[in-house]
Amino acid sequence: MPRMAAVVLPLLLAALCSAQPNAGRYLEQLLPLSRSKLDASELQFLRVAQTAVQYLNYQQGSPSFLRRVVYLGKTSVRNIPGVGHEYSLQFYTKHIQTGQNLGKCSAKVLYQKKTSKPMITVSCTDNRDADQIKKEDYNLYTKLKVKSSPDELKYFANIGSSYIAWKQSSEYVGYVMKEIKDAKKWVLGNALEFDYIVLIGSDDSKDLSCHMRITWNLELPIKVKYECFIDDISAESADGSGEESGSFEYFLESNF
């Protein structure tokens, strides 16, 4: 069974779009979002856009068609009394694997007062053919039945971590996968099963160490089961030794 240790994902690559400067607000890095480069309003909208893309990557469930945010378009937010804050935004994305420019996305993201998980509706104008995406998924599925590479295993780790990031995010805290610590693959009949240990970073210094189990069958939606604990990296020892005291607050979730 293939394994890989400490594979750092290239999800935080610099992402400058080739459009003209007046076409939108550019994002040089997805996370961490630098407060020195972005004002608070842009920082917040970029965080929300990132969560919307994570939701989309999980919902589409295609390892051949994963997106990342490049820059923002129009944005607005409104307060709904007694309910919460609703963000309306447009943003532009690139294909994670190839760097190809993709279509514009529009999203509405509602953060309700009584629940942390955002309610998201998002749609994109794609410039890739749906049949071609299905063909690429089938070719990948056929190949993975026999063998796999570290890069191919990253795609499913991205989908699973996107599910966790969406579920655990809140209005002012976003998450992104930082590292794959271990990965395994099994063939179970018509399904492929993947097992990961991943580190999912947050922008509030509370990282998640997660064990993910992902099941992929071409005829069914991708299934994700995970177990995480919170590792508070801000809680380092005062003597400068660098020891960290994680909270070890476990939580379990599954969409099976």
> For the chain, how many residues are written?
256
Assigned architecture for domain 35-232: Roll (3.10)
Domain boundaries, the chain: 35-232
Pairing of strands 84-95, 101-112: antiparallel
Tell me the C-alpha distance between 154 and 159, whole Å. 9
pTM for the whole structure: 0.76
pLDDT at 83: 92
Phi, psi of 70 (to 5 degrees): -110, -55
Contact predicate 184/244, CB 8 Å:
no
Instruction: Show the low-confidence residues of the chain (pLDDT under 50).
Output: 1-40, 235-251, 256
Q: How many C-alpha atoms does 240 have within 13 Å on its Cβ side?
A: 0
Cis peptide before 32 (omega within 30 of 0): yes
Q: Note whether 194 and 185 are within 8 A (CB).
A: yes
At 2-33, the pLDDT tens digits run: 444 333 333 333 332 333 333 344 343 333 33
For residue 84, what is the DSSP state?
E
- pLDDT tens figures, 120-145: 999 998 767 888 889 999 999 999 99
Find tokens 């607050």 and name the residue: 249
- Kindly state the tokens that stand for 154: 């990253």
SS percent in the chain: helix, strand, coil, step 5: 25, 40, 35
Chain-centre distance for alpha carbon 82? 29
In contact, 145 and 187? CB cutoff 8 Å = yes
CA 16 and chain centroid, separation: 19
Only one residue has tokens 């996370």, namely 31
What is residue 155's three-state secondary structure?
helix
Distance of CA 107 to the CA centre of its chain: 16
Distance CA 75, CA 56 (A): 18
Q: What is the pLDDT of residue 102?
A: 87
Q: Do residues 121 and 55 lie in contact, with contact meaning Cβ atoms separated by under 8 Å?
A: no
